[in-house]
Homo-oligomer: A and B are copies of this chain.
Amino acid sequence: MEKKILLTHCSDAPGLISKITNICYKHQLNIVHNSEFVDYASGHFFMRTELEGYFNDTTFLADLDQALPTRAKRSLVGSGRKKVVILVTKEAHCLGDILMKTYDGSLDVDIAAVVGNYDKLQNLTEKFDIPYHCVSHDNLTREEHEEKLLEVIDAYQADYIVLAKYMRVLTPTFVEKYQHRIINIHHSFLPAFIGAKPYQQAYDRGVKIIGATAHFVTNDLDEGPIIKQDVIPVDHTFSAADMAQAGRDVEKSVLSKALTKVVNDHVFVYGNKTVIL
């Protein structure tokens, strides 16, 4: 007996749930969990189905393709751990949280490698016996640097790339290569305080809440589909530095929660939004 997850999305039509679940039934695949959503604004259908049984992927998918509307997207995902490569710069909090949650079993992912443009986090990474690659950007154009990055990253054939406070902007080439597979943590409750020194901005504005946003990376900086957002309360006693610390706490928590949803195949990207089933 195997466990697999069927992800389907297509334009909505009558009887889709019935058609899909019929085919599962016909293939003697037991539905362990099913959740679906129809976005009536766009008339789009989304379904996530956890299946258990003996799979013949080819015939199963063939039957599905016959039943589903043309241009329907469906994928059958094995239940193995997802492989991720983590990009970092100098800040330890997000990387450390992912490393520790993976170590203690609360995050079920395979960290293939950590890649940084400085060596500051090499020691932390290697504590957990994970390869660290320092790819400095010194004296390199953005393009040259990314070429070197991609050489390292591509070799791991990662399912996802996690930007755990990686402080450089990626080029369209890079982003397109890993479309909807790059997860970034943004130091703010988007769309507020976009840009530099967000905590100084927040401090100057006298806000009472600090937020963070995890999103997929697109070529519109900070505008990609949002996966998870959360906030943490602050008050007048917080300096800009205190707000930054509060921000780090919520950043790592939001990134871990988003990553958990993504690597367990709960997240659909549709247009510039996510549907999380």
A residues within 8 Å of B by Cβ? 14-15, 17-18, 21-22, 24-25, 28, 30-41, 92-93, 96-97, 99-100, 103-106, 124, 127-128, 189-193, 205-209, 211, 225-231, 235-237, 239, 245, 248-249, 272-276
Taken together as a complex, chains A and B put the C-alpha atoms of A22 and B16 apart, in Å, by 10
Q: Is A206 a contact partner of B272 (Cβ separation < 8 A)?
A: yes
Interface pairs (12), CB distance under 8 Å? A14-B28, A18-B25, A33-B37, A39-B236, A41-B239, A97-B100, A127-B128, A189-B209, A191-B193, A191-B205, A206-B226, A208-B227
Majority SS at the chain A contact face = mixed
Q: Is B273 a contact partner of A206 (Cβ separation < 8 A)?
A: yes
Q: Is B207 a contact partner of A229 (Cβ separation < 8 A)?
A: yes
Minimum distance in angstroms from A266 CB to a CB of chain B: 11
Minimum distance in angstroms from A49 CB to a CB of chain B: 9
Q: Is B18 a contact partner of A24 (Cβ separation < 8 A)?
A: yes
Point out which of A38, A191, A226, A235 has the most chain B C-beta atoms below 10 A from its C-beta. Answer: A191
Q: Is A92 a contact partner of B96 (Cβ separation < 8 A)?
A: no
Q: Is B32 a contact partner of A21 (Cβ separation < 8 A)?
A: no
Q: Is A190 a contact partner of B192 (Cβ separation < 8 A)?
A: yes
Q: Is A104 a contact partner of B93 (Cβ separation < 8 A)?
A: yes
Taken together as a complex, chains A and B put the C-alpha atoms of A35 and B189 apart, in Å, by 30
Minimum distance in angstroms from A93 CB to a CB of chain B: 5
Task: List B contacts of A124 (CB < 8 A).
Answer: 103
Minimum distance in angstroms from A68 CB to a CB of chain B: 15
Taken together as a complex, chains A and B put the C-alpha atoms of A248 and B147 apart, in Å, by 41
Taken together as a complex, chains A and B put the C-alpha atoms of A24 and B36 apart, in Å, by 16
Taken together as a complex, chains A and B put the C-alpha atoms of A190 and B205 apart, in Å, by 9
Q: Known: A103-B92, A190-B192, A206-B225. Is A17-B38 also a contact (CB below 8 A)?
A: no
Point out which of A93, A206, A211, A237 has the most chain B C-beta atoms below 10 A from its C-beta. Answer: A206
Task: List B contacts of A99 (CB < 8 A).
Answer: 100
Task: List B contacts of A128 (CB < 8 A).
Answer: 127
Q: Known: A96-B100, A208-B229. Is A235-B34 also a contact (CB below 8 A)?
A: no
Q: Is A106 a contact partner of B249 (Cβ separation < 8 A)?
A: yes
Minimum distance in angstroms from A94 CB to a CB of chain B: 9
Q: Is A228 a contact partner of B208 (Cβ separation < 8 A)?
A: yes
Q: Is A236 a contact partner of B274 (Cβ separation < 8 A)?
A: yes
Name the CB-closest residue of B to A13. B30
